[in-house]
Homo-oligomer: A and B are copies of this chain.
Amino acid sequence: MRLSTKGRYGLRAVLDIAINGNDEAIALSQIAERQEISVNYLEQLIAKLRKSGVVNSIRGAQGGYILARPAHDISVGEILRSLEGDLSPVECSEINDADAECSHSDLCVTKYVWKRISDSINDAVDGIMLSDLVDESRKVQAEAGNNQEKRTNQTC
């Protein structure tokens, strides 16, 4: 039940843009350096975020990425689903897509469990906005205070 590096690195990348990009485009090479992720791999992750409308890209020299909307309008759920696909514990059309119907759904008992897990995950991540993480980061930075060496957001 682990998130892959896509979700973990990708969320860090968006948070990096939210924190460091004050209406300025941030080059991927800068994010890559701060977050210690290779540019090539980050490119693949940010491509998903661009296609799903979380970030916008600016091509050419001096280009980079900016948030597509204000941080308080972007939920962590939207970010993670862009990167990971649906956040469901099982591959079942009936659970992952409200309109679909599973072929042997009539005798499937455990779907009751999977649906509850799926809903609780989505509710949790949809309730956290990117701006919440930005606030949290500023608070944490202020507390860290004179620790000059580590000023980027870190992850577990």
Residues of A within 8 A of B (CB): 1-3, 7-8, 11-12, 15, 76, 84, 87-92, 94-95, 102, 104-114, 116-117, 119-121, 123-125, 127-128, 132-133, 136-137, 140-141, 143-144, 150, 152-156
Q: Which of B111, B121, B150 contacts A156 (CB 8 A)?
A: B111
Min Cβ gap A79→B in Å is: 10
Contact B156 A114 (CB under 8 A): yes
Residue of B nearest to A107 (CB): B154
Contact A2 B90 (CB under 8 A): yes
A105 to B144, CA, bound (A): 11
Cβ contacts under 8 Å, A92 to chain B: 156
